[in-house]
Structure 1
């Protein structure tokens, strides 16, 4: 049997700002298609968590890049492990998310994680979510989706997620943090958050998760990519 080259494995990218729902949606789209999933944001959060644990300051690009290069991580379904220990809960802390947003602007950190992300491209297909999946990591993706939502709707979603995890959350604080992250993500010099020229823009402000997933599956069918 002839091996399938990575570049021939179909990819759906789902990019968008923080708390736009892309992680949950990506997992559900991948499950519907029987594909694997890449949560690229988790890699940046894991880098942030590892740096915080080592006392590395967020403004030390070379040191954070070294942490990213040596990252000892493992993904097992919904579970994420850092240095052999479960880290799924810790990487969702707001402190870690803010640190990740800051260091994600560093070209050295992004380069350190680039090839690590591309390794996830395995048959039969990959759904990759993040901020530069369609523009930098998988520019040849068959379908690129840019998921947007009103910032207030995103803050409400994040607050609900945190409360469900037993983490206290203040809506005003979340709104402020989210607007700051949006500004950093869209204005950074390295791989700024922006839709690819050929991306499908999907506003999920008034859509349920199920409706958002269905819209993306419809995009996939419209692209005639099901036979890829």
Structure 2
């Protein structure tokens, strides 16, 4: 069977990464979480004092882009590839609410998007890949064989994210998580460079009221058809 490219886009906390991992494992494909790449750049900006809640030195981040090395390394114990920033495993650190509060602002910068999109295109040149993000089916792989767009209500997505953070031991409130979801939605859909939009030929999945397993089975059935 010939290998194909599967692009999964959608709003934050819709389970894009979970679905993409499951599909990649089932198909024996490479999985790429582009959100992790933007989160790692946001973390770099935080570490270097380029961004906080009151300040964002965009030019310093742009000037530092040549010194940001992002690599996915497969972890056989976890069953998926983890993000390394300049040689350091940051998979856990980039998933915090603090990073979430800045990632959409960092992802707005055209120079950041250009650097990461180039890397993403290179990763998928041989197909056999499942990639998820915000602009995979519209910018990174506009000719992808399969395009999926995922959505759910903001309240549902905030509750999922809140539950995940609590399980990990993070001290957060539902209100601040819900606020973060709304802010990220606005920035992602209103930025000038590669805004989050549903590709015209993408299949839309609203998973507000279905389980992860039901969603996986529906998408798999769609792929087989």
Report the TM-score, using the length of structure 1 for normalisation: 0.89
CA contact (8 A) 2:150 2:206 kept: yes
Alignment CA distance shift 1:48-1:122 (3 Å) = same
Name the CA distance, whole Å, in 2 between partners of 1:93 and 1:210: 25
Return the offset for 1:70: 2.8
Return the offset for 1:60: 3.0
Name the CA distance, whole Å, in 2 between partners of 1:142 and 1:67: 35
CA contact (8 A) 1:146 1:200 kept: yes
Partner of 1:215 in structure 2? 218
Question: For 1:71-115, what per-residue CA distance to the aligned partner results, in whole angstroms no more than 9, with x for missing partners?
Answer: 222212342222222211110111112211111111111111111
Return the offset for 1:122: 5.6
User: Are 2:71 and 1:74 equivalent residues in the alignment?
Assistant: yes
Alignment CA distance shift 1:137-1:9 (3 Å) = farther
CA contact (8 A) 1:9 1:122 kept: no
How many positions carry a matched residue from both structures? 215
Partner of 2:91 in structure 1? 88
Partner of 1:3 in structure 2? none
CA contact (8 A) 2:5 2:127 kept: no
Name the CA distance, whole Å, in 2 between partners of 1:29 and 1:138: 17
> Which has the larger share of strand?
2
CA contact (8 A) 2:13 2:158 kept: yes
Q: CA RMSD in A?
A: 1.7
Alignment CA distance shift 1:50-1:161 (3 Å) = same
Name the CA distance, whole Å, in 2 between partners of 1:15 and 1:140: 14
Name the CA distance, whole Å, in 1 between partners of 2:67 and 2:183: 29
Alignment CA distance shift 1:69-1:194 (3 Å) = farther
Q: Secondary structure at the match of 2:56?
A: coil
Partner of 1:64 in structure 2? 61
Name the CA distance, whole Å, in 2 between partners of 1:91 and 1:164: 16
Partner of 1:197 in structure 2? 200
Report the TM-score, using the length of structure 2 for normalisation: 0.90
Name the CA distance, whole Å, in 2 between partners of 1:151 and 1:115: 31
Q: Please, which runs of 5 or more residues in structure 1 have no aligned partner?
A: 1-7, 223-228
| Aligned pairs for 1:111-122 within 5 A | 111-121=114-124
Q: Secondary structure at the match of 1:134?
A: helix
Partner of 1:50 in structure 2? 44
Return the offset for 1:209: 1.1
